[in-house]
Structure 1
Amino acid sequence: MEKVNLHAAGIDIASGVHYVAVPEGRDDTGHVKSFGAFTADLEAIADWLTACKIETVAMESTGVYWIPLFELLEQRGFHVILVEPSQVKKFRRKTDVLDCQWIQTLHTFGLLTGSFRPEDRIVVLRSYMRQRETLTKDCARYVQRMQKAMEQMNLKLTGVISDICGVTGMLIIGAILDGERDPHKLAALRNEKCKNDEATIALALQGNYRQEHLFSLRQSVDMYRVFHQKMVEVDREIESYLSQFEDKSDGQPLPKLPRSKQRSKRVNEPKFDTRKLLYEMLGVDLTEIDGVKGHSALEIVSEIGTNVDAFPTEKHFVSWLSLCPEVFKSGGKAPKKGRSPTHRSGNRVAQSLRVCAQTLLRSKCALGAFGRRIKSRDGAASAVTAIARKLAIIIYNMIKTGRAYKDIGAEAYDARYQDRLIRNLQRRAEALGCELIPSEAL
């Protein structure tokens, strides 16, 4: 085989020691060395690679231990690729010394492909967004504990209001923790927009107020408020960081959303104007796409960045998201129905797109009509994946070309699909020597 990367090195990553292999003959003391994991050791790795005239480095993605070394080597000018362990684990004996040599050999012959990692300024935004996601999950945990404590006291508040963390819920819980026990006084704190009346809410607030459950409720509420305050701090950092990106809107004002897409922000969504900041970053408004809201668009951009140049075509992008089926063929025959599932993946962009897709199954847009057609044929799960794939293609083309998205509507989509069915039937009839005549002509 032809050697592709003549100046390649391989690194086996661990928590406390890194093994580095370079081509033989680059150092008189040996072509494999071990280094510690302290910052001084990482600097020593970079110095040794420079002395050995290394240009490109491959390393396995092992936990989070690869991140400091990856960033340091990039700063020192090396071309670094991050490799999935599945690429290098075949045909090897498992020792750290042999691992780094095997990685170096594979990289020399160009047999490794690097994992996608956005540019450094997007990595910073991604870290903020992932920290925010962690805080959101922590908030959800303490909401569940609040619900548990109230259920143990037989307070059925969750059954009479839609959100116990809303205005009505927090006012009632706060009054309970302050010592109020009269259900009618507690019910009088309801917001005028609540669907249930005071009598219904008062009935749900007749419970057994035990001290241990009240203590658990108080601590859960305190922790919920702490994590929400931390989310506010993260939001300030994200808003400040987004404002540092160059403005690609060319002075064009942000189009106003139609009334059908306008809604108030949810509790866990950022309070700043994500739509405006993303429009300035990208030059296009991703929220024009049905099902994609400001927070979802921010999550997607924080993972892929402001350009999609790393993916040559939309098919490469969809494949990276694992939103296309894995085709299994045997003997040249196509797979049977139901035998080509999508590859299981924890891709965060794909997860966000699936959440967006779930909101479109009843929508009166073209994507909703498409999803309902797939749902009637293959089921809801396949429909969600199919819509998520469509969303990925739309987002890819919007970012790549800078063109806005225009929805044709469900009726227009159904009409196009019906025309396509008729043309297919006409071609099949012609192939059989028949003529297809519309019923109106009879």
Structure 2
Amino acid sequence: MELTPMHKRVIALDVHQAKITACAVVEHDDGRLEVTKRDFGAFKRDRRALAAWALEVRPEVVVVESTGVYWKSPFAALEAVGIVAWVVNARHVKAVPGRKTDMADAQWLATLARAGLLRASFIPPRDLRELRLVARPRQKLVGAASAEKNRLHKVLVDAGVRLNVVVNDLHGQSARAMVKALLQDKPLHEVLDLKGRLRASREELFEALSTEHFSATHRFVADEILQHIEQIEQRIARLDKYLLEGLQPWQAQLTLLQTLPGIDQMGAAMLLVEIGADMGAFGSAERLASWVGICPGNNESAGKRKSGRIRRGNAWVRRLLCEFAQAAARTRCAFKDKFQALTIRKGHRKSVVALAHKILRTVYAMLASGTYYQDQVVDYEALNVARNAPRWLKMLHKHGFIASPAAA
């Protein structure tokens, strides 16, 4: 089959850890086709040489196969000289049999790009790409903190301490203070004095804080874990501060996203650095959902739908959306009703993914139009009246617009 060319000057890059294989396909005015193949290293001088060579070719399209994180440096080098490359999904450019060499890969990539068969992946602006370096480690640290908290819980249970039975959050302010005092081997009455506003009585806490089997080994291990938890929490706080300061130019979009049930300030910030604020880069909510990998998959043959399993996409966004979905399902809004209806038919896990898909489509509509979220179930006017009516009535009585009950 002959591929009809759509671009006359194309460069394709097959990127590896230590080498960049480039192939330029240029169609001259007389119809002559010139194919140039070059190898470049991966160091700074090599990337500069690649950018200079690309400027000489004057390509209409430059495509780069998304290989791990190795594509980022060549992409930045090309961007620095004014060339915006297309980063393409490796699944879309798999070589046909017999073409598996680096140079053949690059030439096949150039052939597909010349025929217009490739579509560029979404790459956010440079500022947001740099903030991704903050947001993604933060997600990892939050997971590490959760794992360490579970380890501390297991050590305390092994020692016979059942504080988690009488408090909702073992790492709340009062519970954390009591655990620290326990690890410092303070008398039990001093530990109980730190209960603060906990609902549990002193008698219940006394039974839960039994230290009969709390050995020196338990105390040492629990103290090490607790110190690690606090170190991680301090690192997360520093990352949060840096991320929010870097997102000051997008403060309007941050405020907009926080009106959606289930999304707080940090959730909005971490979502924004992943998908950006310009929804024109995706074109439609369907394309955004496909890029994230949160929409149902297409697998149909002979008129039968075999599977709707979601495809691979941006795992960072998918994780955030699932967290938003589970939080929104616990609020008084339309998302809660949707989740309950889905759970009956699909079960909990599939319902979370389906609700995450709905939230993403809502996010797209909000960012594209610049409008705040308005829930179809919640009566905002009634909520506003319920919140402010006592104050309004008090002021009306005070200024004589309504007779006070005593006067009547």
State the TM-score, normalizing by the size of structure 2.
0.82
- In 1, the alpha carbon distance for the partners of 2:362 and 2:253 equals 17
Task: Tell me which of 181, 192, 196 is aligned to 2:200.
Answer: 196
1:328 aligned residue: 299
Counterparts of 1:223 and 1:301, CA distance in 2: 29
CA shift digits 1:98-155 (9 cap, x unpaired): 2222222222222222221111222223222223222222322322332233233232
CA offset at residue 214 of structure 1? 2.2
User: 1:14·1:65 contact (CA, 8 Å) conserved in 2?
Assistant: yes
Q: How is 1:287-326 mapped onto 2 (pairs within 5 angstroms)?
A: 287-326=258-297
Which residue is 2:174 aligned to?
A: 168
1:227 partnered with 2:220: no
User: Partner of 1:383: helix, strand, or coil?
Assistant: helix
Paired positions, count? 370
Identity of aligned residues (%): 26
Alpha-carbon offset, residue 362 of structure 1: 5.1
- 2:178 maps to a residue whose letter is I
Q: Which amino acid is 1:349 matched to?
A: V
Equivalent residue of 1:285, what SS?
helix
- Decide which moves more: 369-378 or 9-18: 369-378
Q: What are the within-5 Å matches in structure 2 for residues 204-353 of structure 1?
A: 204-207=208-211, 208-243=213-248, 245=249, 277=251, 280-281=252-253, 285-331=256-302, 333=303, 335=305, 339-353=307-321
The answer to which of 127-136 and 361-370 deviates more is 361-370
Secondary structure in 2 matching 1:215: helix
Q: Which residue of 2 aligns with 1:56?
A: 61
Q: Which amino acid aligns with 2:262?
A: G
What's the CA shift for 1:308?
A: 0.3
CA distance in 2, matches of 1:196, 1:348: 39
Aligned with 1:130 (options 136, 155, 159): 136
Equivalent position of 1:21 in the other structure = 23
Aligned pair in 2 of structure 1 residues 177, 364: CA closer, same or farther (>3 Å)?
Answer: closer
Structure 1 residue matching 2:297: 3-state secondary structure? coil
Residue in 2 aligned with 1:356? 324
- Partners of 1:407 and 1:117 in 2: how far apart? 31
2:390 counterpart residue number: none
Aligned to 2:5: 3
Cα pair distance change 1:335/1:347, threshold 3 Å = same
Paired with 1:376 and 1:353, the residues of 2 have a C-alpha distance of 21
**Structure 1: gaps (5+ residues):** 247-276, 412-442
CA–CA separation in structure 2 for the residues paired with 1:386 and 1:185: 50
Displacement of 1:224 after TM fit? 1.8
**What is the rounded CA distance, in whole Å, between the counterparts of 2:378 and 2:309 in structure 1?**
27
What is the CA-CA distance between 1:409 and the residue it aligns to?
Answer: 0.8
Task: Map Cα deviations across residues 309-348 of structure 1 (whole Å, 9 max, x no partner).
Answer: 11222222233233332233333x3537xx4333344433
SS of equivalent to 1:22: strand
Q: In the alignment, residue 232 of structure 1 is paired with which amino acid?
A: A
Q: Distance in 2 between matches of 1:49 and 1:328?
A: 40
Q: Which residue of 2 aligns with 1:187?
A: 192
Alignment deviations for residues 199-249 of structure 1 (CA, whole Å, 9 cap, x no partner): 222222223233333222222222222222222222222232222x16xxx
Instruction: Specify whether residues 234 and 387 from structure 1 end up closer, same or farther in structure 2 by C-alpha distance, changes over 3 A only.
Output: same
1:409 aligned onto 2:380? no
SS class of match (1:381):
helix
Normalised to the residue count of structure 1, the TM-score between the two structures is: 0.76
- 1:400 partner letter: A
What is aligned with 1:433?
none
Distance in 2 (alpha carbons) for counterparts of 1:76 and 1:168? 56
Q: What runs of 5+ residues in structure 2 fail to find an aligned partner?
A: 29-34, 380-408
Q: In structure 1, what is the Cα distance between the partners aligned to 2:124 and 2:110?
A: 24
My pick for the range that moved more, 111-120 or 313-322, is 313-322
Seen in structure 2, the aligned counterparts of structure 1 residues 236 and 297 have a Cα distance that, compared at 3 Å, is closer
Cα deviations by residue, 1:140-195 (Å, 9 ceiling, x for unpaired): 23223322332332322333322232212221222233232x33432332122x23
Distance 1:236 1:385, change over 3 A: closer
Name the CA distance, whole Å, in 1 between partners of 2:46 and 2:101.
Answer: 21
Contact 2:9/2:27, CA 8 A, preserved across alignment: no
Paired letter, 1:356: F
1:10–1:100: 8 Å Cα contact kept in structure 2? yes
CA RMSD of aligned residues (A): 2.7
